[in-house]
Structure 1
Amino acid sequence: MTHTHPRHAHVPASGPTPESAALGDQAEILDLDAEVLAEHIAEIIGWLPLASAPREIVDLGCGTGTGTFALLDHFPGARVVAVDSSAEHLHRLRAKARAQGAEGRVRTVEADLDAADWPALGAPDLVWASASMHHMARPERALRTVHELLAPGALFAVVELAGFPRFLPADAPEDRPGLEERCHAASDRLHAEHVPHRGADWGPLLAAAGFAVEGERTVAVDIEGAGDATVGRYALGSLRRLRLGIDGVLPPEDLAALDRLLDTEGPQSILLRADLTVRTERTVWAARRTG
């Protein structure tokens, strides 16, 4: 999964700060998201109404490169400008590009997409923004900027998740059934205040910015995770981040039950469960600049 992120502090020689540790955890989740959901991301890219394979692509809010490398794989003749506000995530993306022999096809740009002026991003045939637009304080301005960036006929793909993925069955854990849904409900209430554009219908917003919306599609994700260590790590990392945001919001009994799931050394560790699935939805809007 890709994002825009706040800038982070320098890590002192004495050890990582809590902020840098959290950023590292987020980077790991983004990498796991790319691995677990690779088939669904490829399906979305393959659905895009492109008249021809793009040569120049911009990935807005690229994170550690989930979309960047999926796009490079799907369009072997393309180059990608990967844009994010996290220098650490861009460093990780460049390391992946070197490891894959793709460094000549990727240019990274550190930028705040909430800024009024963006750096030069070339003349893309396709702009891809996955799980990044809802983080912006003024997405309407960003949409207009993308419209100005694209040439007539070029495509803008906005991909958004329907919240955080779910992993546990409804009756889990046994001592606090329904725990995961209560955690998500608490998180959704907080996000409604601080990230008001999450869950938005981007079709009307794209049309208001001058785009012609040519398609909208929702892809359901339901991946069986029994015996899959990657899904276990993905669930662990995702619920850890969820736990950070809801501390003090849920009843102590729920927080204690969540902590037991997150205790990798304990008998109730989520890594020991054989009933995990990855359940979420991704919606993509394909919008074209017509003039």
Structure 2
Amino acid sequence: MRTDIPLPSGAATVCGILGDPVGHSLSPWMHRLFAVQTGQDFVYAPFPTASTNLGLVLAGLRAAGVRGVNLTIPHKEAVLPLLTHIAPAAAAIGAVNTLRFEADGAHGDNTDAPGFLRALRRHAGDDWTARPALILGAGGAARAIVHALGSAGVPEILLANRDLARAHSTAQDFPQLPIQALALTAEALRPHLPRLGLVVNCTARGLHGETHPELDLDLLDGAGSVCDIVYNPLHTPLIRAAQSRGLRVVDGLGMLVEQGAESFFLWTGTMPDPEPVEERLRQWLSAQTP
């Protein structure tokens, strides 16, 4: 048996990710890199979980001694009634992506918001904080970004969604923030684009080569930044279009790694360095691009 490879032992801290589907997730590789980097005895596994089985799976994992899990689609909001404690930020966002199983039950948190902010600041600086921001989408990811931008002091948040009623509903859940709901149409967006400091895509567009015909990037100020939380592919059509116009771009990989590092810290008490892990993942994803 080789002894030069840092493998987990039978006493390892066990965590994982629940979703449906979950087989595409990079999180198991990411957390293995975190464990090796920090010298933690740690295992992270994917757990495919249908919505109808969420409560049963959580109870079983807790009974088996699992330390905690990440949650992805479609469980981030559905899990809320199953938790014993919800962190204030997660309650404000209305979604949980990280659970810790404690003696008194399941504790829920949301690491997407701080992970997004750290990645954005690392790749785009802070200039965007003084100008309005546009968020495309109004789902769970958009809610985390709204909370993050609000905490960063962005003066105005524009929330654009194909279903305008959902955009209004999401905006109303953040009454303390300066949010305006918009239809995701070229006509609705055009007057606002020249004054934006940041555009964030929180929709699934880009996963399969979809574009954003409603968004005329030529109207953006050249000092603006464009972020796409999609990380696979790294270079979505939105990222490519922004790059071709000389805009600063932030792909979704930084957010993935930063939120993962925060989850790792919640479970182990050790904060890994996300930058070398992001670089490893970036090299791998780039190699997969035809």
TM-score normalised over the length of structure 1: 0.44
TM-score normalised over the length of structure 2: 0.44
